[in-house]
């Protein structure tokens, strides 16, 4: 194993030092929780009887008090294609548990919204806060204290971060994520993108657009572009929370079923009653969090994780910020190109060598921590493998030594880009994230007059009216966690892409989010402080911008600034809080949310985490 890269060592040491007190408080809590109910038989007889009243033939095993009882926390619904396969998982997982003398119960379900359905719609305002709702739902599920381990069934966007945040507060137990895999590949990504832009220009109609989208999103399984959902799966591998190589195996295949069976067997083994206990609190530490960020950078993953990784880390007592991301990004090269920063999708990525290849390259270059506690191996090195079926038996073999498709995977010694492409921008407009891995180098610097908007719908209207046919920095403000829940603004990508293709210099600046599916237009996103005034009445810099102010987005120097003097201006008036689609029910989450760099969470902020 290679010596650890000095940047990786330095950043990790800094995070450890910064987190020393909070991490120790977390570990002390986990020790107390583990000691409080080391044996669920301390529960009163009435409690136990309620807990296994409906267990049928498993009553003897669970009532005996010696067999591991595994909690299944599922995000199943059949509106979300990625989660539709989970419908029958519990039935099978209970059988798999019996095979090793364990029992399993569905402890609870958590909500699972599809950002693809709500993109550009009012419901997207609930998206970020669904993460914390899922975390709290996970806590409710596990709070019955009937369990020795947690099987976490989730794939997409806010769902995996929410499940992990909730599970970490029960980190005295073992936890393992059980994925379901991506749908088969549909039409080519370039074809899909072309149709979207033609529709934005009014050159094709809704029927053609719907036909294109339906040919892309067409079957059970995760969407195949490399957005937040598939970035989640990559991170679970990098943190050792899957069985090795489980992320991108398609649903309803013998290999997928074998991996689910093996995950249940392994969870029983590493549970508190198993032969090799591995509590989740030991798995997720500073090194595992750094590995997640490294994987994100090396593969060009979703910018949404600039919010989710800090939130996950806080739940484990680990404090990480965007300066850490930025420093790591300058050391970690881009070694994977998956759409939207490449032509192939995650199925092509997996076939080319996938996560096994990526992990081995990173470890061999000293760019990942090998010495982490994983759920499925002795260290991260065991994840440089890929699962295979030999006859009817599951086994693992070494991932390809060289990429099977050099357009999708590259060695660290000859990467696609020398850095990870997720950079910190700072200046008199605040702090923001920019993803450069999908943006052509000549577009990394844009300086142009601002056009300021308060909704993405207003941007669309201005585009259709021809008002943006010039060099422009489009500013969309009052989109932060406190303002409206920080919706994704992916709907802006096609019109801004059209303007860029017309030869204009175009950039986006916003305190909102952009999807992991966003691509070629330079975007300074997650601006913090957000435009809406904080609890002390202080508005963020974007609230003072006006049309015509010169704004500079500079990914080369890491600058986000304006030449305008904002000091004498009065902040813009924020739009009133929206109602409908349940948004009024989330007012408490908006009011208590902290900044994007901390994760935009009222739940964590008010808990003192």
A 10 A CB-CB count for 295 gives 27
| Binding residue ranges for [4Fe-4S] cluster | 156, 223
Report the 3 state secondary structure along 336-364: ECCCCCCCCCHHHHHHHCHHHHHHHHHHH
Cβ atoms 165, 135 nearer than 8 A: yes
Cβ atoms 142, 149 nearer than 8 A: no
| Binding residue ranges | 156, 223
Which of 345, 338, 322, 336 has the alpha carbon at shortest distance from 433?
Answer: 322
Q: How far is CA 549 from CA 450, 526, 529, 545, in A?
A: 5, 20, 19, 7
Task: Determine if the peptide bond prior to 212 is cis (ω within 30°).
Answer: no
- Give the integer Cα–Cα distance in Å for 70 and 22: 29
Pair type for strands 550-554 and 445-453? antiparallel
Tokens of 142: 């596990």
Q: Where are the beta strands (DSSP E) in 376-483?
A: 385-390, 393-398, 422-427, 430-435, 445-453, 472-476
Q: What does the DSSP assignment read for 396-425?
A: EEEPPSS-SSTTTB--TTS-SBSS-SEEEE
Q: Where are the beta strands (DSSP E) in 436-558?
A: 445-453, 472-476, 506-510, 523-528, 550-554
- Give the integer Cα–Cα distance in Å for 37 and 145: 8
Report the 3 state secondary structure along 241-268: CCCCCCCCCCCCCHHHHHHHHHHHHHHH
- Rounded to 10°, the helix 89-99/254-270 angle is 50
Q: Report residue 44 CA to chain centroid gap.
A: 39
């Amino acid at each position: 194993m290679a010596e650890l890269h000095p940047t990786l060592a330095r950043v990790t040491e800094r995070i450890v030092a910064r987190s020393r007190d909070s991490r120790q408080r977390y570990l002390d809590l986990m020790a107390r929780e583990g000691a409080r109910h080391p044996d669920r038989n301390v529960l009163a007889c009435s409690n136990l009887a309620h807990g296994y009243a409906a267990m049928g033939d498993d009553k003897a095993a669970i009532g005996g008090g010696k067999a591991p009882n595994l909690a299944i926390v599922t995000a199943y619904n059949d509106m979300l294609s990625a989660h539709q396969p989970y419908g029958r998982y519990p039935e099978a997982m209970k059988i798999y548990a019996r095979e090793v003398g364990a029992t399993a119960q569905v402890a609870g379900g958590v909500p699972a919204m599809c950002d693809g359905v709500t993109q550009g719609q009012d419901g997207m305002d609930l998206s970020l806060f669904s993460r914390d709702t899922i975390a709290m739902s996970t806590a409710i599920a596990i709070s019955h204290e009937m369990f020795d381990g947690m099987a976490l069934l989730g794939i997409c966007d806010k769902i995996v971060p929410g499940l992990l945040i909730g599970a970490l507060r029960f980190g005295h137990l073992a936890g393992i994520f059980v994925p379901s895999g991506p749908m088969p590949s549909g039409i080519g990504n370039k074809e899909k993108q072309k149709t979207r832009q033609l529709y934005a220009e009014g050159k094709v109609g809704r029927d053609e657009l719907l036909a294109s989208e339906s040919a892309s999103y067409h079957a059970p399984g995760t969407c195949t572009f490399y957005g937040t959902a598939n970035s989640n799966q990559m991170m679970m591998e990098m943190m050792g929370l899957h069985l090795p190589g489980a992320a991108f195996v398609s649903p309803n295949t013998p290999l997928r079923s074998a991996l689910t069976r093996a995950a249940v067997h392994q969870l029983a083994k590493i549970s508190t009653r198993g032969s090799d206990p591995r509590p989740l609190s030991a798995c997720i530490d500073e090194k595992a969090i750094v590995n997640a960020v490294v994987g994100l950078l090396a593969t060009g993953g979703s910018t949404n994780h600039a919010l989710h990784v800090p939130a996950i880390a806080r739940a484990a007592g680990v404090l990480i910020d965007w300066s850490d991301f930025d420093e790591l990004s300058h050391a970690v090269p881009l070694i994977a190109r998956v759409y939207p920063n490449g032509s192939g999708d995650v199925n092509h990525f997996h076939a080319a060598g996938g996560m096994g290849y990526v992990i081995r390259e990173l470890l061999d270059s000293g760019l990942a921590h090998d010495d982490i506690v994983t759920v499925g191996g002795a260290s991260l090195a065991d994840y440089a493998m890929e699962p295979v079926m030999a006859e009817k038996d599951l086994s693992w073999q070494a991932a390809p030594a060289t990429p099977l498709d050099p357009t999708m995977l590259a060695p660290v010694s000859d990467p696609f880009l020398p850095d990870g492409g997720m950079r910190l921008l700072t200046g008199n407009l605040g702090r923001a994230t920019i993803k450069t891995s999908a943006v052509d180098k000549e577009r990394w610097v844009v300086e142009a007059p601002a056009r300021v908007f308060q909704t993405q719908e207003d941007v669309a209207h201005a585009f259709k009216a021809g008002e943006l046919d010039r060099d422009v920095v489009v500013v969309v403000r009052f989109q932060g966690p406190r303002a409206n829940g920080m919706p994704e603004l992916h709907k802006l990508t096609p019109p801004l892409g059209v303007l860029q293709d017309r030869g204009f210099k175009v950039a986006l600046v916003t305190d909102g989010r952009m999807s992991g599916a966003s691509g070629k237009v330079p975007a300074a996103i997650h601006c913090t402080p957000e435009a809406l005034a904080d609890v002390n009445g202080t508005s963020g810099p974007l609230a003072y911008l006006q049309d015509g102010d010169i704004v500079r987005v500079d990914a080369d120097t890491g600058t986000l600034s304006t030449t305008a003097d904002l000091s004498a201006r009065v902040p813009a008036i924020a739009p009133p809080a929206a109602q409908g689609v349940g948004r009024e029910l989330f007012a408490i989450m908006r009011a208590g949310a902290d900044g994007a760099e901390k994760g935009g969470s009222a739940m964590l902020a008010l808990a003192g985490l």
